[in-house]
Chain A
Amino acid sequence: MRPFEYFAPESLADTLQIFSDFGPEARPIAGGTDLVLQMRMGELAPRALVNLTRVAELRGSPTSDGFPYFLSALTTLQKLCQSESIRMRFPALAEAAATMASGQVRNLATVGGNLCNAAPSADLAAILLALGAIARVVGPRGERRIPLEGFFLGPGRTVLASDELLLGLEIPDPVGHSVYLKHSLRACMDIAIVGVAVSLHRVDGRCASASIAMGAVAPTPIRASAAEAELAGERLTPDRIERAARAAAAESRPIDDMRASAWYRRRMVEVLTRRALTSVAEAEPGSGPNGLH
């Protein structure tokens, strides 16, 4: 690991000052579960590391109970799995978090870290995309809001300027049901071969809004807009679901890599989309947002 200066500022102003001083050579760190590994491997060599976990404004940001829900970037993945309020309001988000890494890593890893690491397979990104999350970002030029669709640029790259920080995510109050399905080799600890998130709201039996997001099948997590179009205004019949599943597979752009071939990934998009839509379709309309069981 290359030498660096370590900072643990306690105010947002101090934090932004450090980024201003060091420019792109300063990196924020929270749980560090991706960053420390990248630094050890020599992939990244920042001259300054800025520990965000003591910044009053970031720590103090409550995961609120109001509308829309504000999910602080410093929320650990374990908190996502275990917090009662998140499990009630966004069960698919809690379930997605539970499939990631291990309990120990989840106690350190944060929502912000996972999103800013911008892996194409990021499980949180897929479900947050489907939930319509909006990123709140702060920097020396003030705050801005970025819908998550526009947040990722490519593997490891986001739209954040080097002196900007992700404050957290606004998640609209869920209507309908959502589910996240992850296909991986083992029960946990694995990066997704394919991840599919679905959020769907029906009015009078017809689909009023549908979001389908996919991970690990493109350079960034993406929405399956053609699949969504198949569903808009329609009843969720098996045939309609099948068409949406095929559309999602067709618009995915997976590659061959060590974990799976593109062929297999495309197949899994179809299977997972069909299953996710089916489980959401079978969920009782008034039973709350948990679509899976």
Chain B
Amino acid sequence: MQRQPLALNVNGEPRQVLCDPRWSLLDVLRGPLALRGTHRGCDTGRCGACTVILDHRSVPACLLLALSCEGSEVLTVEGLATNGSLHPLQRALVEHGGIQCGFCTPGMVMAALALLERNPRANSQDIRSGLAGNLCRCTGYVKIVEAVGAAARELAAVPARTERDEAAVAASGSA
């Protein structure tokens, strides 16, 4: 099939690729963009392993046709750690034993990030509902939920987003 140009912003950088219209956002991330931290668990939007943040909303990258992301902002797990140090969510998962095989982890991190952006005071009930779309076969979720709760408390102690970020989240309607 004829490839079409696709321009989007990935982890803060403008990227352009030639894209087969049949490709999903996940295909583009793992293929031409070589960002393989986002994993393919089921390709049917039912396991959460491919969760990324698109225009401030958590989405399953496997279900999005790449071309429909023209002009969008995508945040993947590779875009989280700043200056070599882990994001508090990543650090919390490491410290609380919330990572075993690690295959679900990037999707879990991004889903949790979106959840906490939307609801910084999420309690463990909210976290479990919010992460219900992310399957894990190793941990039984116990330490993942603990970790996200700990990260939430740490993040809540930090100054909030800028007004511009707040407006962007509000405009997108949801996280």
- Name A residues whose Cβ lies closer than 8 Å to a Cβ of B: 1, 3-6, 8, 29, 31-33, 36-37, 40, 49, 51, 53, 76, 78-79, 81-83, 101-105, 107-108, 187-189
Contact = CB atoms under 8 A, between A and B. Distances in A.
Given A6-B65, A8-B70, A108-B59, A103 B130 contact: yes
Count chain A CB atoms within 10 A of each CB in B57, B63, B64, B70 and give the residue with the most.
B63
A37 B44 contact: yes
A32 B68 contact: yes
Contacts, number: 95
B173 interface: yes
A166 B45 CA distance: 24
B51 A4 contact: no
A104 B24 CA distance: 15
Contacts of A78: 57, 173-174
Contacts of B22: 1, 3-4
B73 interface: no
B51 A104 contact: yes
A79 B44 CA distance: 22
Contacts of B21: 3-6, 49
A32 B25 CA distance: 12
B57 A105 contact: no
B58 interface: yes
A101 B51 CA distance: 14
| Range for the number of chain B residues in contact with chain A | 20 to 34
B63 A107 contact: no
Contact of B174 (A6, A32, A79, A187): A79
Given A3-B1, A82-B174, 8 more contacts: A33-B63, A78-B57, A102-B45, A103-B133, A107-B59, A107-B175, A108-B64, A188-B132
Interface of B: 1, 4, 21-22, 24, 43-46, 48, 51, 57-60, 63-65, 67-68, 70, 111, 114-115, 118, 129-130, 132-134, 173-175
A49 B65 contact: yes
Given A104-B45, A104-B59, A104-B133, A36 B67 contact: no
A103 B53 CA distance: 12
A41 to B, nearest CB: 9
A101 B63 CA distance: 13
A103 B115 CA distance: 9
A284 B22 CA distance: 52
A240 B81 CA distance: 61
Contacts of A37: 44-45, 63
A200 to B, nearest CB: 28
Contacts of B51: 104
Given A3-B21, A6-B4, A105 B132 contact: no
